[in-house]
Amino acid sequence: MSPMVILICAVIVAASGLLSPAFALLLGLVLALVTEHPFRTEAHKLTKFLLQAAVVLLGFGMNLGAVARAGRMGFGYTAISIVFALSLGLLLGKLMRVKPRASLLIAAGTAICGGSAIAAIGPVCEAGEDEMAVALGTVFSLNAVALLLFPFVGHLVGLSQAQFGLWSALAIHDTSSVVGATAKYGPQALEIGTTVKLVRSLWIVPLALVVAFWTSRNGRLATASGEHTAKTNAKIAWPWFIALFLAAAAVRSFYPEATGVWTKLSGLGRNAMEVVLLLIGASLSPAMLKRVGWKPMLQGVLLWIVVATLSLVAIHLHWINA
């Protein structure tokens, strides 16, 4: 069977929604090791387009009304946790000498909403596919750990359902993993966890705009190969797909009677994201992964441990309340 046929079959499987994001990325990595990529240049362009399209479609799963109902308290908690996680993540990256783009992706993925944040920030800061793959692989691995570990720890320390929902929303990367962990704990945990997580996810928009402004004005985010983009005073390349993401969320919120349509569109976005992960994995090589190195993965693990531990302590000691 030719490499082209193999890749097309893999894309069809990923597009069908049969694979989890982590397995889609893993399948792509396996393909990269066992077969030659038949159209690397075309796949790179397709990946960039699909990545932005997936982010827009995911906006149809965002209910701004639910975000508003979360109130100022939920907004305050997420604002503090995001600023803290971003600051600590970037500091860790600098101390560990992780390349700025990879460090930013890890920090953004941990601070906001995992794969969705990385997908939104990656094109804005012009991250390489190797950096995207390492960042995505790190957060998806930690998501899997959280699904198993969080309910166990919650019961161990005696968290109420409300406390567990808040902890999950503040410390687990992806919304799907928050839903999975809180659903195991109870209905109140699920309700609070998903609502606060929605508030947290909306921070994708201002962060993407800030990164776009910073990248355009400074233009010195190092790539994994150690290169730097030239400093430029060119016009800011605003990430318009983020505006479309917000527009999709607004349409979904103002027309709730079409919930079935919005659910299908957001599901299509998730399937598109799985195709993106497959294509990213398939485009990599051992040399590219070696160039990024193990430091971003360690940065992601350490950052997640600190964020999860401190948020658990704060909730358990009633410094913050659901």
Tokens of residue 154, six digits: 């919650």
Q: Are 113 and 200 in contact (CB under 8 A)?
A: yes
Question: Is pLDDT above 60 for 227?
Answer: no
Question: Is pLDDT above 80 for 280?
Answer: yes
Lowest average pLDDT, out of 54-63, 159-168, 254-263, 306-315, goes to 54-63
Percent of the chain with pLDDT over 90: 32
The predicted model scores a pTM of 0.79
Give every CB contact of residue 42 below 8 A, 6+ residues apart in sequence. Answer: none
Q: Are 307 and 299 in contact (CB under 8 A)?
A: no
The DSSP annotation for 200-232 comes to: HHTTHHHHHHHHHHHHHHH-----TTS--PPP-
CA angle 312, 137, 177 (to 5 degrees): 45
Phi, psi of 213 (to 5 degrees): -65, -50
Phi, psi of 29 (to 5 degrees): -65, -40
Determine the structural domain holding residue 264 and report its residue range: 3-316
pLDDT value at residue 159: 94
Residue 128, SS3 per DSSP: coil
Q: Is the residue at 321 inside a domain?
A: no
Question: Is pLDDT above 90 for 305?
Answer: yes
Mean pLDDT of 181-193: 89
Span 76-106, pLDDT tens digits: 888 889 999 999 999 999 999 999 999 999 9
User: In 10 A of CB 260, how many CB atoms?
Assistant: 8
Looking at the structure of the chain, the number of domains it has is 1
Q: Is the residue at 157 inside a domain?
A: yes
Tokens of residue 32, six digits: 């990269």
pLDDT value at residue 55: 84
Q: Is the residue at 322 inside a domain?
A: no
Q: Are 28 and 278 in contact (CB under 8 A)?
A: yes
CA angle 171, 83, 267 (to 5 degrees): 50
pLDDT value at residue 29: 86
pLDDT value at residue 183: 87
Q: Is the residue at 229 inside a domain?
A: yes
Mean pLDDT of 19-29: 86
Instruction: Establish how many alpha carbons lie within 13 A of residue 297's alpha carbon, considering only the half-sphere containing its beta carbon.
Output: 13
Burial 90-123 (b: 16+ CB within 10 A, else e): bebbeeeebbbbbbbbbbbbbbbbbbbbbbbbbb
Q: Is the residue at 116 inside a domain?
A: yes
